[in-house]
Amino acid sequence: MKIIRKIREMQAEAEKIRINGGKIAVVPTMGFLHEGHMSLVDIAKKHADHVIVTIFVNPTQFAPTEDLDKYPKDFKRDCELCESRKVDAIFNPDCKEMYPGDSSVWVVEERLSKGLCGRTRPTHFRGVTTVVAKLFNATLPHFAIFGEKDYQQAAIIRKMVRDLDFPVKIITGPVVRESDGLAMSSRNKYLSPDEREKALSISKALQEARQKILRGERTAGKIIGGINLRISQNGGRVDYVEIIDSETLEPLKKIDGKAVIAVAAFFGTTRLIDNISV
Ligand code: AMP
């Protein structure tokens, strides 16, 4: 497994693969890898003969008040995990390599990124779209794999690829959960045992909501109310609970087609997100 730290070197490697007729799939991550990430590697393997995992904690998607400095890292363990899943290369640039200091061009999506996480994190998605565009230019992939855990992010990347004609096919993988239902996340490491227990209320509330819908409830407000209550009773501070159209991400009042229930909530200072499709 190669570990590549320079953009030019990554591009040269990708060009070599392409000239030899190889297919490249990239899995962009911020590291501190878990089975959620590795499930995307497994999907990548099915589509391409060369899998590149990018590991870069992207400063431009964090607000000054957020957890950039304490974002968890374990590069050695990440390498071992990737090696064991037969990843071909890790692209691990440093900040100076990605943002040499005089960057002044951004990729901005202006519709899907306004709501949900974009409401309380207004500069987050332009950081994401910009870094993903840069990672695509470095790794020259045929396929890029994203998790449905970050549902809004995947929708925005699809839109970016469509609107800017990136020759990359976006593939998504389902949310991978711990055995008790908590969505896997690098940020779960921040939770105290007590917070970890209480944070389970997010996935439980989403399951309860699904049951209500199966029993015939269609009014979004009632379902949202139930989720809010369950999370706040468990000491969580809800950032948002929304039921949205699965494509446009527009909030729905009535559920009469494919919808997604999306939640963001704080437990202590840790902000967690989760969603289910209904
Ligand atoms: P991150 O390192 O948190 O930026 O995530 C990198 C990629 O892994 C993103 O496409 C995420 O959506 C995906 N991902 C993170 N956690 C999970 C999970 N529990 N299940 C599926 N995909 C995930």
| 176 CB near ligand 1 (under 6 Å) | yes
Angle at 265 between CA 220 and CA 203, to 5 degrees: 65
What letter represents residue 98's amino acid? Answer: M
Structural domains of the chain, with CATH: 2-173 (3.40.50.620), 186-277 (3.30.1300.10)
| 175 CB near ligand 1 (under 6 Å) | yes
pLDDT value of residue 148: 98
Ligand 1 midpoint to CA 113 (Å):
18
CA distance 47 to 50: 9
pLDDT digits (tens, 9 = 90+) for 218-251: 999 999 999 999 999 999 999 999 999 999 999 9
> Which ligand 1 atom is the nearest neighbour of the CA of 186?
3
Ligand 1 midpoint to CA 130 (Å):
18
Query: Do the Cβ atoms of 278 and 210 come closer than 8 Å?
Result: yes
Query: Do the Cβ atoms of 260 and 124 come closer than 8 Å?
Result: no
CA distance 75 to 209: 38
pLDDT digits (tens, 9 = 90+) for 141-176: 999 999 999 999 999 999 999 999 999 999 999 999
Beta-bridge partner residues of 68? none
DSSP 188-219: GGG--HHHHHHHHHHHHHHHHHHHHHHTT--B
Q: Whose CA is nearest to atom 12 of ligand 1?
A: 147
Kindly report the pTM of this predicted structure. Answer: 0.98
> Which ligand 1 atom is the nearest neighbour of the CA of 187?
3
Q: Whose CA is nearest to atom 7 of ligand 1?
A: 29
| 183 CB near ligand 1 (under 6 Å) | yes
Q: Active site residue: 34, 37, 50, 142, which one? A: 37
Q: Residue written as tokens 């590697």?
A: 41
pLDDT value of residue 51: 99
Give the sign of the dihedral formed by CA 130, CA 133, CA 138, CA 144: positive
Tokens encoding 143: 């396929």
| 184 CB near ligand 1 (under 6 Å) | yes
Ligand 1 midpoint to CA 247 (Å):
19
Note the residue count of the chain: 278
CA nearest to 40, candidates 21, 18, 58, 55: 55
Give residue 136's pLDDT band: very low, low, confident or very high (50, 70, 90).
Answer: very high
User: Once rounded to an integer, what is the mean pLDDT over residues 179-198?
Assistant: 98
DSSP 154-180: HHHHHHHHHHHT-S-EEEEEPPPB-TT
142 is catalytic: no
